[in-house]
Chains A and B, each alone.
Chain A
């Protein structure tokens, strides 16, 4: 351990500054939750208007603006994409890392290079494609762009740390290929899979651009799209939009509170290993 230094006024100023910084990070979100309980008929929000734990703005969203459907849509998209990304990333990463495929280095680099491409370049033609195949306004269309090179790249880093001896020993013992993959490799990279699932969850839940393009019908809107289309109707009442924003924030927030270690370690590992 680093031995404690004399803590002078610099340290105190530092603590105050960082505390203030953390305060700035959290205040807008606290404000968002507070206003979601407020009924404001003018543009001026008074503290007296805030009636904590009176969920009238939330009730309004579900009763008058059918918010159940976008929430359900978002959940469906999240579940499908977490499963799809896990499946595709793990199998591809295992093939690339542990199997002697001819020319695999250049194929892998091709996959990696797609990370550099701006999403707009892909989305224009993907939209044309989905339109021609009549896949707009389907869950499949909403999930497809969430499958990306990042998962393959990340899982490959972790599968690399599975010792080849394990796999070879299992092969000598006559263990079938499928069993090696599902019973040896996958369990050993479980923490990484959980991290990838969290990443996928967050990007699927928070995505805006593609759902905005691919879901043209109201009943296929995701929660972010429904939230973004709210404010314009409520120029003077901030309650309902803030309630919608709170709803979309609360789900990843609860997940973060439950799995903080996995969140932080996943991002940290991505940085250190990448």
Chain B
């Protein structure tokens, strides 16, 4: 290495060191600490006590947790495909057929729910879905239906939580898809048009394949975020009724910060990490080696 290069490398180290220290201390070290705690019994009052795999053994016989994992999987299965497909169709329509002022106005409106916090979103949906006097029951009451106890019945509560999450995040994915479609070379689309491709052919044979990297990004983000769903559950249902909407992320919160069972909560968190990694690798394989 020449002295000049060495000087530049020294500058580089100076640039990244403060940030790297923050990452190492507050992000990477805690991951390994949590891994360590997952093999211990720790309640913050006494020092952690090593108990080998006991936490993990308990995890697999915990019916509360099995329920939460089941709920989380259902939540992911509802939210990810729905928000991805809705966003793709809406973005395609806006970009291909409504590329005018009205289309841009609709796009701006669709993005607005993304701005509000899950807490605000859940607060208002709680009122809309209220069994007595809620807006939704009032509306379907006009047609002689209901009233339903949307958040009080186990099945409908989980579906409602998932749909509110879709409502909150679909605008975000629409914007990404929209930009992706606009980024497709106009000449490619024009060529397809001149060759007489029908709108349906253009969508399935042109837009969808060319959007693959963006779909991959949206599905990846969607899965990672949905597996960590906490805010909306915390505010909208608090995990109820009877644990019907408790997600893994919610249960980790309850174990760690309400019961102060740090060791046990760590084991659940590590398992969540493993599940997310496995799904990520399957998905990477599924998308045939497309990586960032």
Contacts and interface: CB of A to CB of B under 8 A. Distances in A.
Interface residues of A, number: 96
Contact of A145 (B8, B26, B124, B217): B26
Contacts of B124: 28-29, 31-32, 35, 242, 245
A55 to B, nearest CB: 18
Interface string B87-111: 0001001101110000000111111
A205 B117 contact: yes
B133 A125 contact: no
Interface residues of B, number: 99
A264 interface: yes
B95 to A, nearest CB: 10
Nearest to B14: A95
B119 A31 contact: no
B115 A209 contact: no
A126 B30 contact: yes
Contacts of B277: 116
A189 B43 CA distance: 47
B227 A118 contact: yes
Main secondary structure of the interface of A (DSSP, over half): helix
Contacts of B98: 14-15, 18
Given A43-B133, A44-B132, A272-B214, A264 B253 contact: no
Contacts of A104: 12, 16
Contact of A274 (B9, B107, B217): B217
A32 B124 CA distance: 6
A100 B30 contact: no
B180 interface: yes
Interface string B12-38: 111110111011001111110110010
Contacts of A5: 193, 199
Contact of B265 (A124, A249, A274): A124
Which 10 residue pairs spanning A and B have beta carbons closest together? A99-B12, A95-B15, A268-B179, A271-B176, A206-B117, A125-B30, A125-B33, A44-B133, A92-B19, A245-B120
29 contacts: A2-B190, A10-B199, A14-B97, A18-B93, A25-B109, A28-B124, A29-B116, A43-B130, A45-B135, A95-B13, A100-B8, A101-B9, A121-B30, A121-B269, A122-B31, A124-B266, A125-B33, A127-B256, A202-B115, A206-B116, A212-B234, A224-B119, A227-B117, A238-B127, A246-B120, A249-B120, A253-B116, A263-B111, A264-B108
